[in-house]
Structure 1
Amino acid sequence: MPRTGRRPITAATLLAALCVLATSCTGQSAGTASDDPKADVTLKFWHGWNTPAEVKAIEENIARFEKAHPNIKVEVTGDITDDKVNQALRAGGDKAPDVVSSFSTDSVGKFCNSGALADLNPFLLKSGIDKAKVFPKTLLEYTRFKDDQCTLPLLHDAYGLVYNKTAFTAAGITEPPKTWSQFVADAQALTKSNGDSYDQLGVMPTFHGYETTPMRLVAQWSPTYFAADGSSNLAKDPAFAKMLTAQKDLVAKLGGFEKLERYRAGFGDEWSSAHPFNKGQVVMQIDGEWRAAMAEEAGVGFEVATAPLPVPDDQVDDYGKGYLSGTIMGISSTSRKQNAAWELVKYMTTDTGAVVAFANSIHNVPSTLAALESPDLKVTPALKTFMDIARHPKSNTTPAQPDGGTYQLTFQDFAYRFEKGDVPDLQAGLAATDRQIDTDIAKAK
């Protein structure tokens, strides 16, 4: 999702946010909300989008909602970080938002577990909405924690491969790689080294390379993050060690960690026209559905194409799967206008016309089954790739936990150290990471 306002999330930020939300919020529960949704009311809606096109798309959606609900006015505040949302939900009061959206599905477990956001199940029930028939299964998984559906999906993101087809043709490569070994071979063939730097790099494989995170890559191995008893499963599931080993091998084959990181230091901003993919500095980019559209809007001088990410060689039958994430939307548990707030959430997350219009405006994958099949959806060949990834039965996401995304940051920090060569024993390191994750989750509970 093209969101220039997205900030890097650090472990310290998440832990601080968790402390802010450690005290259960008080307010109307979903089952006791008594405000009249037909009364004249003004709602405060906070979101994180901040580019002109995104802000315009939000304003247009809100305008359509207000036309359909003339008694409800919506005060919209954009460019809001999760930190600000967390603090405001904890404080409550007249200045706090009634409705919030967040780019981070990692926050769902924390939002639900702390009671910061109201459980939406009673609202869905009152409205006669069967969520299993409205939303894809994976989206419901990342918008709830256990049985608490404290958020709903508001568009979603699928991750795949965006590539410079012109460079592929020049290198004699006729199709995108389907297996990891093909991916490695293509990355090497597309790389043009120049001493301590590169004239062109097949792909930036290091975990600091924008969307090339451990979570995106390991999704191709279909991992199980937690065992049946709830304990961290990184050391026991071979998927994690296999991914880390394959990624480190690719780093070595493309010149080594230090050389790659020096090259990466010269990259432009991820959300600007100076993105390294746009500049031809990298040929293949692991990214979301927005990247192809943003490259074309930047006026690149080459043909842009998309494909699913490659899969391990022994999982070739699963080609087409990928990592799924998205934007979430919920109602403050301290809001005294929850029934009216539900009308806004219901409209933006379940109304097919609203979802399709918003998806068309910001080049995202729709988040409802009906919207995915809508004839009004503008489906480019590039977007179709990501829609197919979103529909793939083996596509997966990171599970919600009460510590939010802290467990993912712990895994990511370990991956940073491993790719750099600072981990002498991979299995022992994964086991230690498991113990840290279990400790953090126990504290959060």
Structure 2
Amino acid sequence: MPRTRRTTAAATAVAVLSVLATACTGQSGSAVSDDPGKEVTLNFWHGWSAPSEIKAIEENIARFEKAHPNIKVKVTGNMTDDKINQALRAGGDKAPDVVSSFTTDSVGKFCNTGAFTDLNPFLSKAGMDKAKIFPKTLLDYTQFNGNQCTLPLLNDAYGLVYNKDAFKAAGITEPPKTWSQFVEVAQKLTKPNGDSYDQLGIMPTYHGYETTPARLAAQWSPKYFAADGKSNLAKDPGFASMLTAQKDLVAKLGGYEKLEKFRNTVGDEWSAEHPFHKGQVAMQIDGEWRASMAKEAGVTFEIGTAPLPVPDDQAGDYGKGYLSGTIMGIAAGSRKQNASWELVKYMTTDTGAVVAFANAIHNVPSTLAALESPDLQVTPEFKTFLDIARNAKSSTTPAQADGGTYQLTFQDFAYAVEKGDVADIPAGLAKTDQQIDTDIAKAK
């Protein structure tokens, strides 16, 4: 379902969260003393805004309040990290007690600054083994340096959504599994028309909606940081290989300028006018929500889904992908920590609650039990993304003290590469490493 672009959210969070360290006074989960059995009202802020998403949140909260009649929840939606930050700095009764954010990239900063409470003591007191509740990759992006300051609340897996009718017309019998197959299929599906296209196999530029450097890099199984914590982009050959492969695909589909000109004529990512919905693009790198959105938009073609292709020398890893998701935490300044934990625990670990929410907004469940629940509504298109989420080799971008700044630095370099502004990719990656290391050192 529609949601804020995480790259945009990360940029906002990076800009505003740098002052959180002086604004927050953290509390240990084992030190708080409020009685969760007494009458209390919690302020819960989240980022969802679509009517169907708001309805799903309200239904989830209603189930929680029924199970916890003494706890009332005041819900405020469509809240950005900027607004959340301002409220946390101001404090007071109107500040959020519980927060849900789309910005997984900022977990490192949330934890490092003490903006959110470490949930490990709460988990321990409840006798909950988080490793048996959540997939490892989701735990990786919700904690930093052992501080579990957030927990996963639903999950996004990224794969390939494609037009089966266009495939059939081009004589393509199955989705591509390796990068060389992907390039061949994208070219077969592309129908140029002068300086534009009647149909484009795929929009390969990094501005093309969810076709971001991080999504593609995941297929090369990259290691962003070395054991000593230093940025590892230049030393891991996967980054240079991915950047080179993507640049080559851009060239083969018409070149950067022609592709960007076409991209600027197509519809918005979250509207019915999306170019995949309109048949203007035959393949789309996207999340689990795209197939359902396309159906709601009234597409007339059959939709297929598959994992993203992998490098030819990693063909045995086909099935993996990039994972991200929504996070949920407790504001460190809240005086209602125990009651807040009851809400966080319910929404993130209760199988019924997680499954119902996932069904309502068409996202991947975030607990191991919910992934296997018989109540989970699974279409053939959706199953692909469940399999990607379960794949042990699926990965995410690791949390860092600078939040998502290091990703934006890498992304800016990738933009320069695809435009043809970088003559020496390895040297450029080494320089990017230096900038990332400098930024992280400052954040620490």
What TM-score range do you get, normalising by the shorter chain?
A: over 0.9
Cα drift, residue 21 of structure 1 = 1.3
Q: Quote the Cα distance in structure 2 between the aligned partners of 1:217 and 1:147.
A: 28
Q: Which residue of 2 aligns with 1:343?
A: 342
Root-mean-square deviation (Å): 1.2
Name the amino acid aligned to 2:2.
Answer: P
Cα drift, residue 89 of structure 1 = 2.0
Q: TM-score when scaled to structure 2?
A: 0.98
Name the amino acid aligned to 1:414.
Answer: F
User: Where in structure 2 are the equivalents of 1:139-288 lying within 5 Å?
Assistant: 139-288=138-287
Cα drift, residue 20 of structure 1 = 2.0
User: Where in structure 2 are the equivalents of 1:266-345 lying within 5 Å?
Assistant: 266-345=265-344
Name the amino acid aligned to 1:200.
Answer: Q
Deviations 1:126-172 (A, max 9, x none): 11111010000100000000110000000000000000011000110
Q: Quote the Cα distance in structure 2 between the aligned partners of 1:27 and 1:438.
A: 27
Deviates more, 1:80-89 or 1:255-264: 80-89
Other structure's SS at 2:270 match: coil
Contact 1:4 1:271 in 2 (8 A): no
Contact 1:162 1:291 in 2 (8 A): yes
Q: Quote the Cα distance in structure 2 between the aligned partners of 1:52 and 1:161.
A: 27
Contact 2:164 2:303 in 1 (8 A): yes
Q: Quote the Cα distance in structure 2 between the aligned partners of 1:24 and 1:85.
A: 12
Q: Quote the Cα distance in structure 1 between the aligned partners of 2:365 and 2:169.
A: 35
Other structure's SS at 2:8 match: coil
Q: Quote the Cα distance in structure 1 between the aligned partners of 2:427 and 2:280.
A: 37
Deviations 1:250-308 (A, max 9, x none): 00000000000000001211111111110111000000000011101111010011000
Other structure's SS at 1:184 match: helix
Q: Quote the Cα distance in structure 2 between the aligned partners of 1:5 and 1:443.
A: 26
Identical counterparts, % of pairs = 80
Cα drift, residue 5 of structure 1 = 8.0
Contact 1:143 1:328 in 2 (8 A): yes
Q: Quote the Cα distance in structure 2 between the aligned partners of 1:10 and 1:387.
A: 25
Cα drift, residue 15 of structure 1 = 3.8
Cα drift, residue 10 of structure 1 = 6.5
Q: Which residue of 2 aligns with 1:408?
A: 407
Q: Quote the Cα distance in structure 2 between the aligned partners of 1:16 and 1:385.
A: 35
**Long gaps (5+) in structure 2:** none
Cα drift, residue 425 of structure 1 = 1.1
Deviations 1:337-360 (A, max 9, x none): 010000000000000000000000
Q: 1:255 to 1:410 in 2, by over 3 A?
A: same
Other structure's SS at 1:273 match: coil
Other structure's SS at 1:8 match: helix
Contact 1:99 1:329 in 2 (8 A): yes
Q: Which residue of 1 aligns with 2:42?
A: 43
Q: Quote the Cα distance in structure 2 between the aligned partners of 1:319 and 1:52.
A: 36
1:8 aligns with 2:30: no
Deviations 1:398-436 (A, max 9, x none): 000010000000000000011001111111110110000
Q: Which residue of 2 aligns with 1:116?
A: 115
Other structure's SS at 2:197 match: strand
Deviations 1:185-223 (A, max 9, x none): 000000000010000000000000010000000000000
Q: Quote the Cα distance in structure 1 between the aligned partners of 2:298 and 2:67.
A: 38
Q: 1:380 to 1:340 in 2, by over 3 A?
A: same
Q: Which residue of 1 aligns with 2:90?
A: 91
Other structure's SS at 1:283 match: strand
Q: 1:399 to 1:9 in 2, by over 3 A?
A: same
Name the amino acid aligned to 1:3.
Answer: R
Q: Which residue of 1 aligns with 2:56?
A: 57
Deviations 1:99-122 (A, max 9, x none): 000111101000000000000000
Contact 1:5 1:48 in 2 (8 A): no
1:70 aligns with 2:66: no
Contact 1:6 1:48 in 2 (8 A): no
Contact 2:4 2:102 in 1 (8 A): no
Deviates more, 1:17-26 or 1:402-411: 17-26
Q: 1:260 to 1:5 in 2, by over 3 A?
A: closer
Q: Which residue of 2 aligns with 1:422?
A: 421
Contact 2:27 2:333 in 1 (8 A): yes
Other structure's SS at 2:21 match: coil
Cα drift, residue 241 of structure 1 = 0.1
Other structure's SS at 1:109 match: helix
Q: Quote the Cα distance in structure 1 between the aligned partners of 2:19 and 2:26.
A: 17
Contact 2:223 2:236 in 1 (8 A): yes
Other structure's SS at 1:28 match: coil
Contact 1:144 1:151 in 2 (8 A): yes
> How many residues are treated as equivalent by the alignment?
444
Q: 1:216 to 1:90 in 2, by over 3 A?
A: same
Name the amino acid aligned to 1:338.
Answer: Q
Cα drift, residue 18 of structure 1 = 3.1
Q: 1:15 to 1:8 in 2, by over 3 A?
A: closer
Name the amino acid aligned to 1:8.
Answer: T
Deviates more, 1:319-328 or 1:89-98: 89-98
